[in-house]
Amino acid sequence: MDPLHDRLAPALAGRYRLERELGQGGMAIVFLAHDLRHDRQVALKALRPEVAAEIGAERFLREIKMAAGLTHPHILPVFDSGDANGLLFYVMPSMEGRSLRERLDRERQLSLAEALRLTSEVASALDYAHRHNVVHRDIKPENILLHEGAAMVADFGIGKAVSQGDRSITQTGFAVGTPAYMSPEQSAGEAGTDGRSDLYSLGCVLFEMLTGEPPFTGVTPQAIIAKRFVSPIPKVRTTRDVPEALDAAVSRALARTPVDRYTTAAEFAEALRAISRASTTGAHRTAKDAASVGPAAIGVLPFKNMSADPENEYFSDGMTEEIINALGKLPGIHVASRTSSFAFKGKDVDVRQIGEKLGVTTVLDGSVRKVGNRIRLTAQLIDVASGYHLWNETYDRQLEDVFAVQDEISHAIVDALKLRLGGDQGQVVAPTKNLEAYTLYLKGRFFFAKLSEPALRRSLDLFQQALLLDPALARGYAGIADAWCNLADDWVAPDDAYPRAKGAAERALQRDPNLAEAMTSLGKVLGWHEWKFADAEAELARAAELSPNYAEAHYVRGTMLPCVGRLGDAVDTMRQALVLDPLSVHYSEWLARFLLYDGDYDAAIAQGERTMDMDEICHRAQHYIAAALLAKGDAEGALSWYRRAQSLERAPRSWDAMIVRALAALGQKDEADAILARLEDESRRQYLRAEIIAMGYAAAGHLDQAFASLERAYQARSAGLLYLHRDPGYEPLRGDPRYADLVNRIGLR
């Protein structure tokens, strides 16, 4: 164990539990820690003792306190700081493995739009800090973290703390700043460096995002620093075709003399936004022209809850989802799915970025205020290309008029986009006349969207309460079917959950024969549990036809296609679901899974990483990355990913068997067998996925136990068996006649 850990852990024992080291730098060591008071994971940075001694506790804590006062959407907050047993530390949110550096290491260059957006976000953070008299002094890709795609600047205050007056600690052996990104005046140790030094560093970062390397490189730090004093400022356009205005903006940020750079970070950010607007005008015009002869494309952002009671958030979310569903039924209009639209909830994102990410040309935004039996709903339709409002309206109504409001909004949007639409505009039909039942239904959908076991069970209870008040509420039964389908396999035995889902879906369809949500749930049961693949595909094709914007119907149909020998079509269908719901973590991870089954391991890894860019704790994406690495012969890499996935709280225990696969490949038989023994014991007390455990047994060479586990999965009708003939985890079993018999019994092709 590191001596610093041994010294720090007991000093912090009452506040933090140090779990493991995350990384080291020249000045600090970073630990993953558990905040005992708030029950959360945090990143704890401890300065090296020699650095701490040089700085002094008083100066360090003063500067960190100033940094902790910075509150900005693109600044990583400081939770805590202090002196523990003579060691100086500070605490931040845990964002392990999500830095711009790691992304550049993977991709080397970013798209023009992404590079401009991230740089603008960092510049916005710097402008805020500079206006509060805080200069960062160490802007580099390692200090720019990515949270749900947005830039977060870390380590404010540290550069100031490790400077003494205007003298850098570099004189005593410690580097303040990083040579590849350090401004000339900071490199020279000049007095009075200001925010323009940060702009120089940010210009270096932007240069690297565009070209794949910093503007000045060399074999030693001294060589790098020397180049920025004697070599010409490099041009981005010598290695990449970018607008001339962008090349000029980067060159201005990299000017040797501060007075020749942008005056403020805000000025730099605005210059970049202007370039972004100019560079995308052509693309937006093309999209707009195409929309005039094809489907309009609209994204509905989550309506803001303006009620005094935060509990009413379920109502604002529910109204958003209802409007998405209503618009999705209109002819000639493409509507981004709920999952993707809700990815922007609570975020201040430019409408052009939203349009780019959702693939839409218009955005509907609004708010809901619910007070007693009255609602006030405001809505505005915005053109993505111009940023102009096409339509806006405020509705003050009684709660019982909620469905009329939804209908009016739908028709107002049709009118605003009338050149793009045609045919029957449809009408919003009230699902129930019982407002209390409708309110309970909306609450049920609110909890359903959280997709955890407790939330799904809460949604079941709310849907059932709604049905007690209105037994004719078809969508209440559809919600129950959805919840049971999501609980199946990982949390509830499939032979218990799926029959409940089927009964609820059939009752929903008795009340509304054209309810696509219920058809989709029925298709899941027919395909995933009853293994009637042709019947399932017919049901799902009808659901997709009735509700072409319902991405879930396309996704579920995609899951059926490998079972009938159409794996290539399954990949294409999953991509189609992602077009409809481009920010869906679930669909993205399934695409990675099917690319794995198709033997395209590099593409599977890339798709898994894209999934983790959307949700860094998506355990299935990590598993598919690991499986692809294992298939490529990298057992060490696979083991690391498997352990990382299974360390997550949301990871089902049965998937520990995947760790066994990597251990077996590495010849670590004792640990592999110990995990299998534990899983076998746990499976006697609770439901675990037997087909997953079978992969562990197969990898460890215990073929009889593997087939016994598969037989248990077969008797339980586990959905995981549908890919028995595709998943590389079953490769050790494929020469055994028992394998062919099982494939035939399931009916796979």
What CATH number is associated with residue 163?
Answer: 1.10.510.10
**Residue 41, domain member (yes or no):** yes
Find the mean pLDDT for residues 179-196. Answer: 84
Residue ranges making up the domain that contains 560: 431-582
Same domain, 335 and 303: yes
Residue 663, both tokens: 């251990």
CATH number at residue 81: 3.30.200.20
**Domain stops at, among 397, 415, 430:** 430
**Residue 594, domain member (yes or no):** no
The label of the residue with tokens 């992969």 reads 695
Task: Look at residue 513 in the predicted model and tell me its pLDDT.
Answer: 93
Same domain, 378 and 404: yes
| Residues constituting the chain | 749
Same domain, 358 and 394: yes
**Residue 632, domain member (yes or no):** no
**Residue 695, domain member (yes or no):** no
Same domain, 148 and 176: yes
Percent of the chain's residues with pLDDT above 90: 34
Asked if residues 553 and 543 have their Cβ atoms less than 8 Å apart, the reply is yes
**Domain stops at, among 45, 60, 93:** 93
CA distance 117 to 180: 22
**Domain stops at, among 63, 93, 123:** 93
Task: Find the helix packing angle between 351-358 and 265-293, rounded to 10°.
Answer: 50
Same domain, 117 and 255: yes
Same domain, 250 and 313: no
278 pLDDT above the threshold of 80: no
**Residue 670, domain member (yes or no):** no
Mean pLDDT of the chain: 84
CA distance 126 to 197: 11
Find the mean pLDDT for residues 638-652. Answer: 88
**Residue 187, domain member (yes or no):** yes
Rg over alpha carbons for the chain, rounded to the nearest Å, is 28
Same domain, 132 and 225: yes
Same domain, 497 and 409: no
634 pLDDT above the threshold of 90: yes
Same domain, 443 and 302: no
Please write the tens of the pLDDT for every residue from 67-88. Answer: 777 777 788 888 888 888 888 8
pLDDT tier at 427, thresholds 50, 70, 90: low
96 pLDDT above the threshold of 80: no
CA distance 548 to 331: 9
DSSP-assigned beta bridge partners for residue 369? 376
134 pLDDT above the threshold of 80: yes
pLDDT tier at 423, thresholds 50, 70, 90: very low
pLDDT tier at 60, thresholds 50, 70, 90: confident
- 310 CA to centre of own chain: 25
Task: Look at residue 289 in the predicted model and tell me its pLDDT.
Answer: 38
Asked if residues 158 and 59 have their Cβ atoms less than 8 Å apart, the reply is no
Percent of the chain's residues with pLDDT above 70: 91
Find the mean pLDDT for residues 432-454. Answer: 84
CATH number at residue 403: 3.40.50.10610
Same domain, 181 and 310: no
Residue 454, both tokens: 């407790």
The enclosing H or E element of 738 equals: helix 737-746
Residue 421 backbone phi and psi in degrees, to 5:
-115, 160
The amino acid that residue 618 corresponds to is C
735 versus 321: which is more confidently predicted? 735
Same domain, 266 and 313: no
**Residue 636, domain member (yes or no):** no
Q: Classify strands 167-168 and 163-164 as parallel, antiparallel or unpaired.
A: antiparallel
pLDDT tier at 433, thresholds 50, 70, 90: confident
CA distance 63 to 44: 17
Residues identified as active-site: 138
Please write the tens of the pLDDT for every residue from 581-603. Answer: 888 888 999 999 999 999 999 99
Asked if residues 149 and 97 have their Cβ atoms less than 8 Å apart, the reply is no
Task: Look at residue 159 in the predicted model and tell me its pLDDT.
Answer: 55
Find the mean pLDDT for residues 58-63. Answer: 79
The total of structural domains in the chain comes to 4
**Residue 613, domain member (yes or no):** no
pLDDT tier at 420, thresholds 50, 70, 90: very low
286 pLDDT above the threshold of 80: no
- Residue 545: exposure state from Cβ atoms within 10 A (0-12, 13-18, ≥19): exposed
Same domain, 435 and 424: no
659 pLDDT above the threshold of 90: yes
C-alpha torsion sign, points 278, 280, 282, 286: negative
CA-to-CA separations, 328 to 34, 323, 370, in angstroms, rounded: 44, 8, 25
Residue 633 backbone phi and psi in degrees, to 5:
95, 5
Task: Look at residue 429 in the predicted model and tell me its pLDDT.
Answer: 59
Task: Find the helix packing angle between 474-487 and 516-524, rounded to 10°.
Answer: 30
Task: Look at residue 171 in the predicted model and tell me its pLDDT.
Answer: 35
Task: Look at residue 508 in the predicted model and tell me its pLDDT.
Answer: 94
Please write the tens of the pLDDT for every residue from 473-508. Answer: 999 999 999 999 989 877 888 888 999 999 999 999
Find the mean pLDDT for residues 305-323. Answer: 80
397 pLDDT above the threshold of 90: no
Find the mean pLDDT for residues 507-533. Answer: 93
Straight-line distance from the first to the last Cα atom of the chain, in angstroms, rounded to the nearest whole number: 53
Find the farthest-apart pair of alpha carbons in the chain and give their distance in angstroms, rounded: 80
The label of the residue with tokens 């953070």 reads 125
Please write the tens of the pLDDT for every residue from 353-386. Answer: 888 888 888 888 888 887 777 888 888 888 887 7
